[in-house]
Amino acid sequence: MSLLIRNGNIVTDTENYHADILCEGETITAIGERLAAPADAEIVDAAGKYVFPGFIDPHVHIYLPFMGTYAKDDYASASRAALIGGTTTLIEMCCPSRAEEPLEALRLWMGKAEGLSACDYSFHMGVTRFDDAVEAQLRKIVATEGITSFKVFLAYKGAFGIDDTELYHTLKLAAELGVVVTAHCENAQLIAELQAALLAEGKTGPEWHEPSRPMRVEAEGCHHLMTFAELTGASVYVVHTSNRAAAETVLAARARGVDAKIETVIPYLTLDKTYAERPDFEGAKYVMSPPIRDKSQQDYLWAALAAGDIDTVATDHAPFDFEDQKRRLGGSDFTKIPNGIPSVEHRIDLLYTHGVATGRIDLNTFVRCASTTAAKTFGLYPKKGAIAVGCDADLVVYDPDHRSTISVKTQQMNTDYSAFEGWKIAGRSQFVSVRGQAAVRDGEFVGTPGRGQLLRRQPNSK
């Protein structure tokens, strides 16, 4: 079947123009004015609307054993939520424990997506220990499984965190293989000491999560990673950057020639630490790491995004229930609250509402940070993240005039709360296609669970 999108305002990371888009099979085959519709074509009228390349969320957790429990989404609910929000590709963090073997863990994660995901997907391979056996498996994962990015944690000591010897060898291997290393940058020892001191003082509520992981701890983690990247020549990508001090640490290294990119996430652009200070344990809904910061950091993050200093906007989607998980596990100790904010469904609408509609970023920046740069960084471009002949027909027809309100009652994510309950939204992904097939019509999911494909990627050439 063919798909013809007519009369749309096409927006990419560099262009903005009116044209029709013809898709045949899974790819875009023609772009131009007044294109003829094949007899079997589904015709979508995009007059007065934007047509964007399918959005990419390069940082999600769907299957996640973490802090004594499991994330609530599976690929059926998460991919449905992503697509309703305009996201057509997910890159999930595969996070084995230190005791697990990487290849076995990757196959477990892949199995959780296969047959369920309605959108395309790939993985970052978590490196939670490094030895000869792990190195051999990582080489195989890159060469035969098409996974060309690693993930390291400079936090979660005793769980996912690695030591400096392991960090050095991971980065050294990545540089050799042309693999990007994504990194959670904090200082695990400082966090452990600060948490212990706060708990000893009887400070156990969620409002103490941010003081236990202050901005300087994040900036120090960034400085640490940049030193190792500079000395090994590895390409690095700092995930969920929450504040100016951390971002400027990375930018200083970039100015010295380090190949480093910066990701922020939608909670940091829209929420501030007062949400985590709400009484009656409500603040636990907003506990994530690094923590949500003071509102003063938001202006910097938006300006850095507009300037191109911050490269991508992801979610760090990590869905845990409020009552049965956050309250039950962390009700008397903030260090045991499962970290994460469910947000894969609302990233694009929040970014448009609070970024484009307010004039903080323009439409090209919107596409760049929510799609194209992630595609280029992680070996998916130009099949993904672009609108051109030969690209995958992942397209979003976006209605800027639609108005709605976020609510747990209408969300597709499988959690018992929304961090953005009652927020007004300007805009909606009205129509979404994945490789030429409709997945969303009139804002409703019409996709096919299990149609999503594992995206096998190539290493970057040095």
Query: Which residues touch 263 (CB under 8 Å, ≥6 apart)?
Result: 58, 59, 182, 237, 238, 239, 240, 241, 310, 311, 312, 313, 314
In angstroms, the CA 446 to CA 442 distance is 10
pLDDT of the residue at 376:
98
Tokens 């938001």 sit at which residue? 298
- DSSP label at 68? T
DSSP alpha helices (H): ranges in 146-276? 164-177, 188-200, 209-212, 215-232, 244-255, 266-270
Helix (H) or strand (E) holding 276: none
In angstroms, the CA 263 to CA 369 distance is 9
pLDDT of the residue at 68:
87
Direct distance between the N- and C-terminal alpha carbons of the chain, in angstroms, rounded to an integer: 40
Maximum CA pair distance of the chain? Answer: 72
Query: Which residues touch 22 (CB under 8 Å, ≥6 apart)?
Result: 2, 3, 4, 28, 29, 30, 31, 35, 37, 38, 41
Per-residue pLDDT of the chain (462 residues; tens, 9 = 90+): 899 999 999 999 999 999 999 999 999 999 999 999 999 999 999 999 999 999 999 999 999 998 889 999 999 999 999 999 999 999 999 999 999 999 999 999 999 999 999 999 999 999 999 999 999 999 999 999 999 999 999 988 777 889 999 999 999 999 999 999 999 999 999 999 999 999 999 999 999 999 999 999 999 999 999 999 999 999 999 999 999 999 999 999 999 999 999 999 999 999 999 999 999 999 999 999 999 999 999 999 999 999 999 999 999 999 999 999 999 999 999 999 999 999 999 999 999 999 999 999 999 999 999 999 999 999 999 999 999 999 999 999 999 999 999 999 999 999 999 999 999 999 999 999 999 999 999 999 999 999 999 999 999 854
Q: How many CA atoms lie within 13 A of 246 on its CB side?
A: 32
- DSSP label at 136? H
**Identity of residue 223:** H
Q: Are 96 and 138 in contact (CB under 8 A)?
A: no
- Domain spans in the chain, listed from the N-terminal domain onward: 54-377
pLDDT of the residue at 461:
58
CB burial of residue 252 (10 Å; 0-12, 13-18, 19+): middle
The domain 54-377: what is its CATH number?
3.20.20.140
